[in-house]
């Protein structure tokens, strides 16, 4: 009787652990894959940005290496918020003619510049311009390229 009960307990624990592993794995996998250009490029409004990303020196980095905070709870909160906003606008809202990054995204992206390139900027002052991309101007999706090199109708 006692043996049976402990066996059942063990089963529950093992199953629970397994479920946890599967859930965590699933969560980690979906978090990771929804960071990628392949996922972001599912919406035609993002074609221009995924395309210029793929043409660029950052092609091997995921979109969200730049576009959401690097770690912590804020990473998940920011992602959920942006995802919800973008989904809503795509499904029910009006996409603007020209898509511009909001202030919060600009701050997040700039923090991520400094996160990866910290050694490069270690010995220099960073107070001349607000954003790294104020000098590194083609990094924001090659926005000085002629339109036809990065965009097309129906996107």
Partner 1 sequence: MSRKNCLLTAALCALAALFFGCAEIPEPKAPSYKTDLPETTVTNKPFEKPFPLQYKTYLRNDEDTIMTEYKGSVPFRKNDDVNQLPKGYKHAQPYLKNLWMGYPFSYEYNETRGHTYALTDVLEIDRINRYSDKAGLPSTCYNCKTPKMVEWVGKYGDDFWAMEFHGFRTELDLKDHSIGCANCHDPKTMDLRITSVPLNDYLAKEGKDPKTLSRNEMRSLVCAQCHVEYYFTDPKHGPAAKPVFPWTRGFDFEEMYEYYKDFGSVTAPGMEGWFADWTHAVSKTPMLKAQHPEYEMFIDGTHGAAGVSCADCHMSYTRLDGKKKISNHHWTSPLKSPEGIAAACRTCHTDKSPEYLKDRVVTTQRRVFDQLILAQEVSVKAHEAIRQASEWQGEKAADFDALMAQARERCRKGQWLWDMVSAENSVGFHNPAKALEALANSRRYSQEAVDYAMQATMFGIGPTLAGDIKQIVPPILEHSRKLQQSAEHLQSHKWLSYLPKFPEADLVWNLNKRVEGTPEAKEGH
- Using CB under 8 A as the criterion, which residues of the chain lie in contact with partner 1 when the complex forms? 30, 33-34, 36-39, 41-42, 44-45, 47-48, 50-51, 54, 93-98, 100, 134, 140, 143-155
Whole-angstrom CA distances from 58 to 61, 69, 73, 121 are 5, 17, 25, 18
User: Least distance to partner 1 from the beta carbon of 144, Å?
Assistant: 6
Quick one: 14 or 84, whose CB is closer to partner 1? 84
Quick one: 98 or 125, whose CB is closer to partner 1? 98
User: Least distance to partner 1 from the beta carbon of 73, Å?
Assistant: 23
Quick one: 72 or 96, whose CB is closer to partner 1? 96
139-142 CB contacts, 8 Å cutoff, 24+ apart: 139/56, 139/58, 140/101, 141/48, 141/49, 141/52, 141/53, 141/56, 142/52, 142/55, 142/56
User: Least distance to partner 1 from the beta carbon of 141, Å?
Assistant: 9
Quick one: 54 or 120, whose CB is closer to partner 1? 54
What is the separation of C-alpha 126 from the centre of its chain, rounded to a whole number of angstroms? 25
User: Least distance to partner 1 from the beta carbon of 44, Å?
Assistant: 7
Residues in Cβ contact with 131 at an 8 Å cutoff, skipping those fewer than 6 apart: 106, 109, 110
């Amino acid at each position: 009787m006692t043996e049976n009960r402990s066996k059942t307990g063990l089963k529950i624990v093992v199953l629970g652990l397994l479920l946890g592993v599967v859930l965590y794995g699933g969560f980690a996998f979906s978090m990771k894959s929804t960071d990628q250009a392949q996922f972001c490029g599912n919406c035609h409004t993002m074609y221009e940005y995924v395309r210029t990303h793929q043409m660029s020196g950052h092609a091997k980095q995921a979109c969200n290496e730049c576009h959401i905070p690097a770690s912590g709870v804020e990473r998940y909160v920011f992602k959920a918020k942006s995802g919800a906003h973008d989904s809503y606008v795509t499904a029910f809202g009006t996409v603007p003619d020209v898509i511009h990054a909001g202030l919060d995204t600009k701050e997040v992206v700039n923090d991520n510049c400094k996160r990866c390139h910290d050694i490069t900027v270690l010995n220099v002052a960073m107070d001349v311009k607000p954003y790294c991309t104020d000098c590194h101007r083609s990094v924001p999706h090659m926005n000085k390229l002629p339109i036809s090199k990065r965009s097309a109708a129906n996107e």
